[in-house]
Structure 1
Amino acid sequence: MKRFTEEVAALSKEDFAVELVTDLAWWQVITIVMMDLKEAKVSRILEHPLMQARIRRANHRTPRAAIWGHLQMHTKTGCDNVRYTRRYEPLLFWKDDKSVWSIDEELAAEEVPELVEMLERYKGYTTAQGAVVERFAFTTFHQSFSYEDFVEGIKPVMSEDVADALAYEVKPGIFKTMVQKAMSDPDHDYALLIDEISRGNVASIFGELIALIEDDKRQGAPNELRAQLPYSREEFMVPANLYIIGAMNTADRSVEALDTALRRRFTFIQTPPKSGLIQQPTGLDVNLQALLTTMNARIEKILDKDHCIGHSYFMGIAQQADPLEELRKIFAQKILPLLEEYFYGDPAKIGMVLGKRFVKRGDLSITLLEGDWEIDDFEDRKVYSIIDPMTLQEEDFRTIYE
């Protein structure tokens, strides 16, 4: 992740402001600004550095209207100078007859103490020492993950003070948030990392934005495309400096088939197991690299390459005080359960991969009771049992590859 991470000696106060307001809603940033200004007209609120940072992140075309609207929505109900009928908690603001806005600081400290703390951090900020700037975000797709989680959606906001009071706000999803960050910082590359990308309904999650992620459809490209988002009605495009990186396991059976339209918009890179990355533990007379390579060669012959065992299982053995004990645990708790899933109901194939030290034939002397239940089909059936790996020694593991 070095490409999307930077160590900086100091962050400017402007950059710190951007980081501070990145995930805040309009009304939250307005609240912080008003606690700093005490009293102000909308034009002065608009000029505040924190508000300017929020505007750059949102790429909003009419920020003055957004500020005006959110001030009215969170104005105290007794204010005669605000005609807006729908009010949403917390009610913090007041407008006088000269269009000067003020804030109930005592109520703000009680209702939103985290915003008070943010203001103190901003006012007391000088320089960041040895700061690490991470320009990436991580998410995981699953069957319940939706467009509203990924791009934007309407989320309910309920009041604890007023019974049955329910409001809705348009909340940006992780994709929209990363797009806004990348657009406001075109000199750096950003990345959105999606784990288990094939486990979600990808076509539904990306929605109408599936075309916008193509290289030639991005911001500034020859065939630049823009879309209007369904909830916020904002114009949306994807900048060229945002990378979307997905990870998936092709052996997973309980996943959605990756949408063809999305598949052709990605570059696919296979990442097979790399036994050479495994560090050989001192004092363990089992060649872990040879062990993994041999097991995977047999699995690939019986099944396919998609079912090969990853090298990550063995990466931490060298750091353990008792490498043999750790190897036993890995086989007992990870390798064998995985193979039993692969070869469900056919333990003989586990024996083909691991050998006789791990799988043995059952008792051949078992006699089935006679009766009218057609036992002929079971007379020649072979029974196998799995040896407990916690009882095995180094030579038992070596038999896998020797």
Structure 2
Amino acid sequence: MPNTPVNIIYTGVAGTGKTYQLLQIAKQYTDYLPTLDKAQLLAQLLHELSWREVICLILLDFKHQQQELVKVPEILAHEFFIAKAAHNERDKNLSNTAWSVLQMHSSIASQTVDYKKRASQAYFDKDNSGAWFLLPECLPLLAELSMQLLEYQQAQTNINAMQKSRFSMVSFHQAYGYEEFVEGIRPVLGGNTQGQISYGIQDGAFLQLCQRAANDPNQRYAMLIDELNRANVSRVFGELLSLIEPDKRSGQAHAMQVNLAYSGRSFSVPANVDIYATMNTQDHSLAPLDIAMRRRFRFIDCPPRPELLPTITVLSDDNSSNENAPINEIDLAQLLMGLNQRIIESLGAEAQLGHAFFCTVKDIVQLQTVLIEQVLPQLVQVTGGQVSLLQYLFCDEQQPFTAQFIHDSQALLLQSNLRNEPNNPTHKQQNFGAQQPFFEPRMSHSNYSINPDLIAKTGAFAQVAVYQRLYG
């Protein structure tokens, strides 16, 4: 765990384990708590909460169950209310307690609650039927309670493996913005009529995490961002761009704070929040990070790691019953290194394949499937479907037609025409039908096709030699 704030971006091509790295970091920011039974979980959740907070928690729980309106008998019967009363050794006048709290913290503009000694902050109101609900404008104030409720619900699903996470993980995309990450005006269900939609300022993922970290200064928290450069990063961070610098955090030498765009609240990033992100360097359709963003992060390159890949063994059908038969092997590490060497020579280092493409391969059938469904589409994209380049990458140039991974569709069409009998119209019609599958690649400005034997996993592609030739 770091002792000072860190901002790190893991960069690399697809399939090099960047997201896996984030998942490993998440484990460092996860507390594995002692096992508790349900009574202990309730006590841990409620023992420091006031009656007002307990009733807020109950209404949040009903809200999560899509029930916006709750009557007092339902509140009294809720396990949180019962557990709080037991903890306080109360068994009398509980209904009065609930009514008093609800009315004291009701809206001053309420048309249904007549109560003089109201608290300064309103949380509740009720409709004409006597059912209570949370005021939409108070929901941002209940973010910490919502998180505690979520952790309690997660703990209940598996009491014997209780965990408390100190991280938040998001995946950026083209539509992801400041409103989801920092704060924004978003719709909220609630109001005097069930199902009514109102709008309020709500905290985004980063602000929620920062609030948790500020309330727990002795622990470190982490913001984990996958695919950082898929969003407009400067827009997502907004005025927080300066605040995330390690020396600008609250309590640091050059601490800064700003007023947030929507709420106008004064805010600074806690020093116990770390930021980790991944960035795919291969996708040139994405805008590069600007200099201001880059200088606030350390960059760690994640290259392909072929040494992590196994060697698979293949025993042919002819000698599978012979214990002394030679074992044919395909070294996936050498196969990946050979492919990447030719990719670097022809397309550059940013077009390489990551080792994750082959991590799940255990036999030749899985290797064939990975090549057809993952590797070939990736290489077709980076080469623009150029036949000669694809054939170079798969060492097809000097190979017989039956052993080529990639076929030249134009050459195949010419070969088919040469076999035509010119004076036989029926033959021509059949030949045209045979050629038709190759018109689609040509219409997309590509003249390649995948060897049908590779797709069928037969012929030369049932033998190890065709894969071994990819090594060098």
2:368 counterpart of 1:328: yes
2:38 counterpart of 1:7: no
| Greater relative contact order (Cα < 8 A, sep 6+) | 2
Match of 1:401 in 2: 471
Match of 1:254 in 2: 285
Match of 1:341 in 2: 381
Percent identity (aligned) = 29
Q: Is the 8 A contact 2:172 2:225 kept in 1?
A: yes
What secondary structure does 1:295 align onto? helix
2:394 counterpart of 1:354: yes
For 1:72, the aligned partner's letter is S
What secondary structure does 2:31 align onto? strand
For 1:238, the aligned partner's letter is V
For 2:330, the aligned partner's letter is V
Match of 1:387 in 2: 451
Normalised by the size of structure 1, how large is the TM-score?
0.70
When Rg is computed on C-alpha atoms for both structures, the one with the higher figure is: 2
Q: Is the 8 A contact 1:89 1:159 kept in 2?
A: no
- Give the alignment partner of residue 182 of structure 2, picking from 151, 154, 157: 151
Q: Is the 8 A contact 2:35 2:160 kept in 1?
A: yes
Task: Tell me the C-alpha RMSD between the 2 structures.
Answer: 4.2
- Give the alignment partner of residue 274 of structure 2, picking from 233, 240, 243: 243
For 2:45, the aligned partner's letter is A
Instruction: Work out the CA distance in 2 between the residues paired with 1:397 and 1:233.
Output: 62
Match of 2:347 in 1: 303
- Cα drift, residue 279 of structure 1: 2.9
- Cα drift, residue 207 of structure 1: 0.4
2:107 counterpart of 1:72: yes
Q: Is the 8 A contact 1:292 1:311 kept in 2?
A: yes
1:5-52 Cα distance to aligned partner (Å, 9 max, x none): 23222478699539xx9xxx999437469833654599x969xxxxxx
- Cα drift, residue 81 of structure 1: 3.4
Instruction: Work out the CA distance in 2 between the residues paired with 1:281 and 1:161.
Output: 66
Q: Cα–Cα, structure 1 residues 219 and 262, in superposed 2: closer, same or farther, change >3 Å?
A: same
Instruction: Work out the CA distance in 2 between the residues paired with 1:220 and 1:14.
Output: 35
Match of 2:86 in 1: none
Instruction: Work out the CA distance in 2 between the residues paired with 1:307 and 1:178.
Output: 36
Q: Cα–Cα, structure 1 residues 282 and 182, in superposed 2: closer, same or farther, change >3 Å?
A: farther
Normalised by the size of structure 2, how large is the TM-score?
0.61
1:212-243 Cα distance to aligned partner (Å, 9 max, x none): 00010002100011112232332211112211
Gaps of 5+ in 2: 1-24, 62-71, 76-80, 82-93, 134-145, 315-327, 397-403, 419-445
- Cα drift, residue 211 of structure 1: 0.4
Match of 1:373 in 2: none
For 1:71, the aligned partner's letter is S
Q: Is the 8 A contact 2:186 2:199 kept in 1?
A: yes
Q: Is the 8 A contact 2:385 2:447 kept in 1?
A: no
Q: Cα–Cα, structure 1 residues 172 and 17, in superposed 2: closer, same or farther, change >3 Å?
A: farther
For 1:313, the aligned partner's letter is F
For 1:29, the aligned partner's letter is L
- Cα drift, residue 341 of structure 1: 0.6
- Cα drift, residue 281 of structure 1: 3.5
For 2:113, the aligned partner's letter is C
Instruction: Work out the CA distance in 2 between the residues paired with 1:260 and 1:309.
Output: 28
Aligned residues: 334
Gaps of 5+ in 1: 47-66, 95-102, 109-114, 368-381
Match of 1:317 in 2: 361
For 1:355, the aligned partner's letter is C
Q: Cα–Cα, structure 1 residues 71 and 9, in superposed 2: closer, same or farther, change >3 Å?
A: same
Instruction: Work out the CA distance in 2 between the residues paired with 1:83 and 1:93.
Output: 20
1:158-205 Cα distance to aligned partner (Å, 9 max, x none): 558749954222211100011112222222222111111101111111
Q: Cα–Cα, structure 1 residues 385 and 163, in superposed 2: closer, same or farther, change >3 Å?
A: closer
Q: Cα–Cα, structure 1 residues 143 and 281, in superposed 2: closer, same or farther, change >3 Å?
A: same
Instruction: Work out the CA distance in 1 between the residues paired with 2:162 and 2:286.
Output: 39
Match of 1:29 in 2: 57
Match of 1:264 in 2: 295
For 2:332, the aligned partner's letter is L
For 2:171, the aligned partner's letter is T
1:322-348 Cα distance to aligned partner (Å, 9 max, x none): x11111111111111111111114121
